[in-house]
Amino acid sequence: AQTIHQWPVAEIKAVGSPLSLGCTIKGKSSPNLYWYWQATGGTLQQLFYSITVGQVESVVQLNLSASRPKDDQFILSTEKLLLSHSGFYLCAWTGTYNNQAPLFGEGTRLSVL
Amino acid sequence: QQNVQQSPESLIVPEGARTSLNCTFSDSASQYFWWYRQHSGKAPKALMSIFSNGEKEEGRFTIHLNKASLHFSLHIRDSQPSDSALYLCAVSTYAQGLTFGLGTRVSVFP
* pLDDT, tens only, B42-94: 999 999 999 999 999 999 999 999 999 999 999 999 999 999 999 999 998 76
Q: Do A99 and B43 touch (CB under 8 A)?
A: no
The pLDDT of residue B52 is: 92
Percent of chain B with pLDDT over 90: 82
Q: Which residues of B76-102 are buried (b: 16+ CB within 10 A; e: fewer)?
A: beebeeebbbbbbbbbbbeebbbbbbb
Residue B27 is given by DSSP the state -
Q: Do A94 and B51 touch (CB under 8 A)?
A: no
The pLDDT of residue B95 is: 62
> What's the average model confidence in pLDDT over B94-100?
77
Tell me the shortest Cα–Cα distance from A57 to chain B, in angstroms: 9
DSSP strand E in chain B: where?
4-7, 10-14, 19-25, 32-38, 45-50, 54-58, 61-66, 71-76, 85-92, 98-100, 104-109
Residue A46 is given by DSSP the state E
CA separation for the pair B48, A99 (Å, rounded): 12
Q: Do B96 and A94 touch (CB under 8 A)?
A: no
> What's the average model confidence in pLDDT over B13-18?
97
Q: What is the pLDDT of residues A60-104, one digit of tens each?
A: 878 999 999 999 999 999 999 999 999 999 999 988 666 778 899
The pLDDT of residue A2 is: 81
